[in-house]
Amino acid sequence: MTRGARATLSLALMLALASCAGPRNSLNTAASVCFRAIPSAADAVGHRGRLVGVRRRSQRYVARRFPAVSTPPGRGPVCLVAFRGDYRSGQVRGTNLKGRYAIVVVEARSRHVVRVRVTNKLPLRFRHRV
């Protein structure tokens, strides 16, 4: 192998390795699109509480799991954003319930708040175990 060929091969290898370690603009998860819904969800709960987690789910899943939640027409996914705090009656937009958790259902594409639910128990796991 000639000296020029070795240099070219070394350069190509270094570029390939550098591209694997480069910064990403996404979390590379199915829920990464839902992180854009956090500001809308925070507005819905009046910026009270601490963010617990975000989940992306289909409208069919939300309709089965939360029968009282009306989802928007269409087939796109929705984002479930959970907050933990001390929510009293009338503090959260769209509900007069009180509880420890607020779950905000947000359209994934338009980031429009569909529904807010206040409860004392989360209906699904929002946190990742580390």
Q: For the segment 65-110, what is each residue's pLDDT rounded down to a tens digit?
A: 766 665 556 667 889 999 999 988 877 877 778 889 998 888 888 8
Per-residue pLDDT for 130 more than 80? no
Instruction: Tell me the average pLDDT across 6-10.
Output: 75
Q: For the segment 20-55, what is each residue's pLDDT rounded down to a tens digit?
A: 555 554 444 666 788 899 999 999 998 999 999 998
Distance of CA 35 to the CA centre of its chain: 4
AA identity, residue 70: S
Domain limits, the chain: 26-119
Q: What angle do CA 118, 60, 39 make, to 5 degrees?
A: 45
**Strand-pair partners of 37:** none
Phi, psi of 79 (to 5 degrees): -110, 135
- Predicted local distance difference test score (pLDDT) of residue 30: 61
* Residue with more model confidence, 127 or 4: 4
The pTM (predicted TM-score) of the whole model is 0.69
Task: List the one residue out of 112, 116, 113 whose CA is nearest residue 99.
Answer: 116
